[in-house]
Amino acid sequence: MAEKKKNTFIRKMMAALIGGLVLGLACLLLREHLLATGQGAIWNTINNLLFQDITKKEGLHALGLFYIIGQLFMNGLQMAIVPLILTSLALAMCSISDADKLGRIAGRTLGTFFLFYVFGCTLAGGLAYWVRSMGMFDVTLPSKAVTAVNKVAPYNPLTTIINFVPSNFGAVASVNTRVLSIVFVAIVVGFCINKLGPKADTLRQVIEELNDVIQMFLNFLINKIGPVAIFCMITRTFAAYGIEYLKPALTYMVVTIIALLLYLIIAYPVGIFLSTGLNPMPFVKKMVKVAIFGFSTNSSAATLPINTRTCEDELGCDHDITSFVLPMGMTINMNGTSMMHMVAVTFIATASGINLDLSTMIIMGLLSICAAAGTPAIPVAGTTMIFTVMAGLGFTNEMCLLGYALIVAINRPVEMTLLMLNVGGDAATNVIVCAKEDRLNKEMYFNEDL
């Protein structure tokens, strides 16, 4: 029965993804045809009925059915981010009573994250520099592309370290942009409960029951509402996607997506094989649906529940280690984001006439890792953080801002692709740490029926 339900869910997810892509691209072509033939009023009617963002001024009288369904689904997922991380990570800290073991698990987790980061930045930076040297990033930026550039205020990416410890728990718990601080609070709470022992049994039970409630809610949301919502979101993404600035930035998009897919295919399977000696193919096959879900929702946080379930129920990962590694990875392990930063900033600098050398690329990589680690696990956050890396390098002149605006305008497909790396890296690290700790159920890992 469980196998039948799993296969049904996978089929629904694939149908939603493929159906959304087909309908979305069809709507994109229809829109371009209608606009080219002077029938823009017809497209405006379709857009207002299905795709329009009803929270904007132009959506005042729109229905926006696909937008509403997608937003309700994403709001439901994001509502659970803070309590899910707080409860799951606190319970993981409670369960690991041996301080030496906890330190070893944390060290292996962070070490693996860092190695994946370094390899990703090296691959993306090397490919971007080669493409730049071939002259393929020499483009003319469209001066009227964007009049208002959405960016964060310049700041040193190393402030991520300071923000790890919150000054006000209530403030960080009320937003989804300070997840790293929630991780710190969860670790402290779990560690203290662990040390207090029986004295804290009541609090431990409350956290366990709250975690059960959150898991039940997320299972319902993902299994019952997820396929429909993903179909709507994918369709709307491509239907409302502007192509007016696609050509000048097409090389950036292609190079970035190629780098991301190469990393996805090579880095995680090879990392698992070299670290554990395990055949990585079961990992690849079982992670397909998680990658699809991450691609569709464009949110690491939204993918955490299905990633957790796949790691524990199909890959044979230990529950306690999974509860520690995945929430931590969702927060600070953003391999795809750092790779996108490397290609994007190289493209922006080249298009703006700024010379790049090896030392600048190395600094770019370090800044990108810090910025990616501090990126909120929500849609579009990674694109916004490109400006942080630019500011750290001093790339803030008018031409650079124009290039940044161009990236913001066309980066949605890249953001969707890199999410597969972010969630895949978390799961790969989890498998590696569990195997190193001898807490991986290898029979379950190799079982093709799961």
Q: How high is the pLDDT of residue 140? A: 62
Assigned token pair, 212: 């059960």
Q: Are 180 and 331 in contact (CB under 8 A)?
A: yes
Question: Following CA atoms 302, 305, 310, 311 in sequence, which dihedral angle do they give, to the nearest 10 degrees?
Answer: 100
Amino acid type, 262: L
Residue burial 309-344, b: 16+ Cβ < 10 Å; e: rest: bbbbebbbbbebbbbbbbbbbbbbbbbbbbbbbbbb
Q: How high is the pLDDT of residue 431? A: 95
- 450 residues of the chain, pLDDT tens digit each: 455 555 576 678 778 878 888 898 888 888 888 888 888 889 889 989 988 888 888 888 888 899 899 888 878 877 877 887 788 778 877 766 666 777 788 889 989 999 999 999 999 999 999 988 888 777 666 555 444 444 445 556 566 677 778 888 888 788 766 767 887 888 888 888 888 888 888 998 998 899 889 888 887 887 788 888 888 888 887 777 655 555 557 788 888 989 999 998 899 999 999 999 999 999 998 998 888 888 877 777 778 888 988 999 999 999 888 988 888 888 788 888 899 999 999 988 888 888 888 888 888 888 888 778 766 656 666 777 787 788 778 887 777 877 787 787 677 788 888 888 989 999 999 999 999 999 999 999 998 776
Helix axes 398-410, 386-393, angle to 10 degrees: 160
Question: In Å, how far from its chain's centre is CA 431?
Answer: 19
Assigned token pair, 9: 């869910």
Kindly list the structural domains of the chain, giving each domain's residue range(s) and its CATH number in brackets, ordered by start: 81-214+243-446 (1.10.3860.10)
Q: How high is the pLDDT of residue 247? A: 58
How far is the first Cα of the chain from the last one, in angstroms, to the nearest whole number? 12
Taking the C-alpha atoms of residue 342 and residue 286, their distance in angstroms, rounded to an integer, is 29
Q: Where are the beta strands (DSSP E) in 192-240?
A: none
Q: How high is the pLDDT of residue 6? A: 56
- Which residue's structure tokens are 């929630």? 182
Assigned token pair, 134: 């071939």
Taking the C-alpha atoms of residue 90 and residue 92, their distance in angstroms, rounded to an integer, is 5
Q: How high is the pLDDT of residue 316? A: 92
